[in-house]
Amino acid sequence: MNQFEQQIDQYLDLDYGITARQAIVEQLYNAVSKAAMKSLSFSEQSGKKGCYFSAEFLLGRLIYSNLLNLGLLERCRTYLNQNGFDAGVFESIDDDALGNGGLGRLAACFLDSAATHGIPLNGFGIRYKYGLFHQYFQDGFQKETADDWLKAGDPWGIRGESEAVTVKFADQTVRAIPYDMPVIGYGGNTVNRLRLWQAEPLSAFDFEQFNLQKYDEAVEERIRAEEITAVLYPNDDTPAGKQLRLKQQYFFTSASLQSLVKEFLQKHGESFSHFPKEFAIQLNDTHPVIAIPELLRILMEEHQLSFDEAFPIVRDTFAYTNHTIMAEALEKWEVSLFLTVAPQVYPYVVLLQNALNREIKERNIEQQDKAALQIISGGQIHMARLAVYASHATNGVAKIHSELLKSNVLPEWYRMYPERFQNKTNGITQRRWLALCNQELSGFINERIGNGWVTDLNQLKRLTAYLDDSASLAQFREIKRQKKIQLCNHVRIHEYGFELNPDFIFDVQIKRLHEYKRQLLNAFSILDIYFAIKDGTLTDFTPTAFLFGAKAAPGYRRAKGIIKFINEIARLISADPEVKDKLQVLFVQNYNVSYAEKLIPAADVSEQISTAGTEASGTGNMKLMLNGAVTLGTLDGANIEIVEQAGEENNYIFGATVDEIAQLSNTYHPKALYESNPRIRRVVDTLIDGTLDDGDTGLFRELYDSLLKGVSWHKPDQYYLLQDFESYCEAKLRANRDYRNAEEFSHKCLANTARAGYFSSDRTVREYAQEIWGI
Ligand code: 26W
């Protein structure tokens, strides 16, 4: 037996005194992970290092991807089989879900790509005790439970007791302890690091206090410290104006900077002008932006630099990525609240504001631009403005998004610093999102073009030679069918025996639940199809299963109402024998990275239907494309670049463009559309006419009103569902008809796979390294 297998046996024996055959899953999981860890050491990083500061890292399940990258996946499978286990045993181990959605998953893809290509990039974040909540449905309503992800142990995290630092707040001082996780590049040559900080009380146990009978105070101190990293905020796109959230942000950025400064001092002493040549810090959205005044503070207060010395160092070190144009998601902190968290940092925000004022004076700025060029304004600190001002680069995450940043979100800042604005179109790692989750399609590709694509996704272009090869297309369809059957089996177990039909088209919408993503529009189109089938006006419909996966922020009423609505549609349709051989609707529970790995390879149609100008990029769209689904989508985010690459003829594009929406916005009258279009009226009325029941919660009525009446804070139908309804239904039915020509449709699917090379995060990370970090 070899090293790896022997190590597993040894850990099982040492830690639990058992053999593999006696082990339960958690024991096996820990032993296999530790055995894999044993073969690793963190790479020596010379030269400039990238530091990815992010409040979220949505890693998913680590064991299989780490084994894949180490080349141990097959050996592990054999070992498990020999000991009477299925290779899938670890599917019961929870994901590492320390993130909400796109932004956190992007961070995970970047780490994988950098390590694979030997780019020294380390992640810095928070070791939440509880990650994103688990979701289940009760009577079609979302319920949440805690994500106790550490219950199976954390074999990949190494506690760094000796590298702990302290972080000071207005009302408490805590210890920050790093847990380092290896980020293993494909091939195992580079091992970078993800450092997640955990908050603990200053002293493990204060015996003096204990002796003084201050036991309660010691307990209290522990609770107050641990609270800081207790739980990930489940809000996606709406900032929680909460003190604790700002505490989390300051906690991990201050700890991370302290450890970087320590490392720097050991190497270079006090010659801080060299700092930006040692580290490039990328700020993942505004969440870590408080790092900017904190570094300024450390340099000036602890190392006696002047502002004029420190500011250029800070500016050259940081760069900022924006992930959303939704105005309500741009973080602002009340000065008064800021002062209750990190009062020592505030004077450095003021110094930056003063420097900005001087610059505005020198530059002869237009009067009308001045109000927006304030970091502190109206008693609030605008974190995005702070980031643009005190960093050297600001980027959006898809071409159109980066353009909108310049024209709509931060136009005054763009006029002042045009040279700072960049685009870095998002990407995804093909290791997890093809090699790992779709080994069947990977095999198909390898047989034709070899496996170079695993580290060079542009090689997929060579598949275009097979786009008209009937045998290849037939095999491609057979693989899609296998992946559907695998999903059916998973769904049967996890969705109360639901019998998904693998002969149906699988039409998939998976992403966080948000009004702008328009899951409600998808729901309306399904109802429209349902009624048309019942009426007999739609006779040539190819049977379709509509699959949804999404979590709603627990406090987001409308999002929860939409989940209930779709679950009620599912109930209506499954109870109707007239449509059961034509339609299925399923909202899967607890959609997460691991569920995505099952859904994506099985999808025929990828729903990317956000209102043009609202989705910054999207990355699920890229994963579905890579796995050979056609995009049914709007010209929004990266969809635009997807059809640029794959061809409009291989996808289904519909709806108003960004420019058309802008044109329309002042005269838009959804009520008129509702009144003049009976199809629209019929589906919208199901919200209030008793067709579907929200259990007297008023949720459906609120959705109805949001579309037709509006409320104090927005106009009716602010996301233009009714505007796009007809062209959406038309495009959906066109795809549905096209599917019947199997050969032509699979040509489109394979064309999407073949042209997905651009969307590798390998490309994205290289662009960051070259154009922002100087690595
Ligand atoms: C503070 C509240 C808050 C929470 C989360 C504000 C903003 C966010 C994120 C920026 C939301 C997010 O995940 N954005 C997504 O980022 C992805 C990666 O760039 C993009 O692909 C998605 O389009 C964007 O919605």
Tell me: do 340 and 477 sit in the same domain.
Answer: no
Compute the average pLDDT of residues 672-688: 98
The yes-or-no answer on residue 560 being catalytic is no
Comparison of pLDDT for 45 and 568, the residue scoring more: 568
Identify the pLDDT of residue 217: 84
Please report the atom of ligand 1 found closest to the CA of residue 329: 6
pLDDT for position 116 = 98
Domain assignment of residue 663, yes or no: yes
**Residue 436 lies inside a defined structural domain of this protein:** no
CB of 594 within 6 A of ligand 1: the answer is: no
Residue 153, pLDDT above cutoff 60: yes
Is residue 398 located within the same domain as residue 461? no
Asked whether the predicted pLDDT for residue 667 surpasses 70, the reply is: yes
β-strands 421-423, 394-396 pairing: parallel
DSSP per-residue string spanning 75-105: HHHHHHHHTT--GGGGGGSPPEEES-SHHHH
pLDDT at 329: 82
Q: Is residue 41 part of a domain?
A: no
Helix, strand, coil fractions of the chain, as percent rounded to 5: 55, 15, 30
pLDDT of residue 735: 98
% of the chain at pLDDT higher than 90: 95
Specify the amino acid at residue 471: A
Inform me whether the pLDDT recorded for 210 exceeds 60. Answer: no
What integer is the mean pLDDT of 207-213?
Answer: 62
Question: Which CATH number fits the domain that encloses residue 409?
Answer: 3.40.50.2000
Same domain? For 558 and 632 the reply is yes
Among 21, 326, 148, smallest CA distance to 12 is for 21
36 residue type, one letter: A
pLDDT-above-70 percentage for the chain: 98
The answer to whether 228 and 199 have CB atoms below 8 angstroms apart is: yes
Please, which pLDDT band fits residue 208 given cuts at 50, 70 and 90? Answer: low
Q: How confident is the model at residue 215 (pLDDT cuts 50, 70, 90)?
A: confident
List, for residues 302-311, the tens digit of each pLDDT value. Answer: 999 999 999 9
Would 84 be classed as within a structural domain?
Answer: no
In a 3-state reduction of DSSP, which class is residue 237?
A: coil
Q: 392 and 484, same structural domain?
A: no
| Interatomic CA distance for residues 185 and 329, integer angstroms | 33
Quick check: CB of 235 below 6 Å from ligand 1? yes
- Atom 7 of ligand 1: nearest residue by CA position: 237
Q: Which amino acid is at 569?
A: I
The yes-or-no verdict on residue 756 having pLDDT over 60 is: yes
Q: CB of 757 closer than 6 A to ligand 1?
A: no
User: What atom in ligand 1 is closest to the CA of residue 235?
Assistant: 4
pLDDT band at 498 (very low <50, low <70, confident <90, very high): very high
CA distance linking residue 363 with residue 356, whole number of Å? 11
Q: What is the pTM of this model?
A: 0.98
**Does one domain contain both 412 and 510?**
no
Residues 304, 212, single domain; the answer is: yes
Per the annotation, the verdict on 461 as an active-site residue is no
- Say if residue 170 is in the same domain as residue 109: yes
Residue 729 belongs to a domain:
yes
> What is the arithmetic mean of pLDDT over 357-367?
95
Eight-state DSSP code of residue 205 = -
Q: Which of 405, 416, 245 is nearest to 326 (CA)?
A: 405
Closest residue CA from atom 10 of ligand 1 = 323
259 in the same domain as 110: yes
Instruction: Assess whether 577 and 615 both reside in one domain.
Output: yes
CA distances in angstroms from 232 to 115, 130, 228, 396, 511, listed in the order given: 26, 6, 10, 24, 18
Does the structure show a pLDDT above 70 at 212? Answer: no
Using alpha carbons, select from 163, 192, 188, 187 the residue that is nearest to residue 175: 163
**Are 468 and 368 contained in the same domain?**
no
Q: Select from 323, 394, 623, 625 the residue to mutate for testing ligand 1; criterion: most ligand atoms less than 8 Å from CB.
A: 323
Q: 144 has which bridge partners?
A: 135
Q: What is the pLDDT of residues 403-427, one digit of tens each?
A: 999 999 999 999 999 999 999 999 9
| Distance from C-alpha of 745 to C-alpha of 424, rounded to nearest angstrom | 31
pLDDT higher than 60, residue 572:
yes
Beta strands 134-138 and 141-145 are antiparallel
Mean pLDDT score, 71-75: 96
pLDDT in tens, 434-451: 999 999 999 999 999 999
Is the domain of 414 the same as that of 529?
A: no
324, 401, 764, 767, best to mutate for ligand 1 pocket (most atoms within 8 Å of CB) = 324
In a domain, 398, yes or no: yes
C-beta of 331 in contact with ligand 1 (< 6 A): yes
**One domain for residues 465 and 385:** no
Please confirm, yes or no, whether 623 is among the known catalytic residues.
yes
Q: By residue range, what is the domain housing residue 588?
A: 456-759
pLDDT grade for 108, boundaries at 50, 70 and 90? very high
Identify whether 517 is a catalytic site residue: yes
Q: Count the neighbouring beta carbons within 10 Å of the beta carbon of residue 405.
A: 25
Give pLDDT, residue 209.
Answer: 59
In a domain, 540, yes or no: yes
Residue 458 has pLDDT above 70, yes or no: yes
Residue 216 pLDDT level (bands cut at 50, 70, 90)? confident
Unique residue bearing structure tokens 């790692």: 429
pLDDT given at position 343: 98
Cα separation, 111 vs 98, in Å, equals: 15
Cβ neighbour number for residue 205 with a 10 Å cutoff:
12
- How many domains, in total, are found in the chain? 2
Residue 237 banded pLDDT, cuts 50, 70, 90: low
Q: What is the pLDDT of residues 267-284, one digit of tens each?
A: 999 999 999 999 999 999
Give the pairing type, strands 49-53 and 121-126: parallel
Say whether pLDDT at 139 is over 60.
Answer: yes
511 counts as catalytic:
yes
pLDDT of residue 423: 99
Q: Given 127, 193, 511, 551, which residue is catalytic?
A: 511
Task: Answer yes or no: is the C-beta of 426 below 6 A from any ligand 1 atom.
Answer: yes
Is it the case that residue 205 has pLDDT exceeding 70? no
**Residue 551 annotated to the active site:** no
Q: Within a domain: residue 504?
A: yes
Query: Is 225 in contact with 172 (CB distance < 8 Å)?
Result: yes
* Alpha carbon distances (Å) from 303 to 265, 266, 280, 306, 711: 11, 14, 20, 9, 53
In whole angstroms, how far apart are CA 276 and each of 60, 522, 577?
A: 32, 48, 67
Q: Is the CB of 617 under 6 A from ligand 1?
A: yes
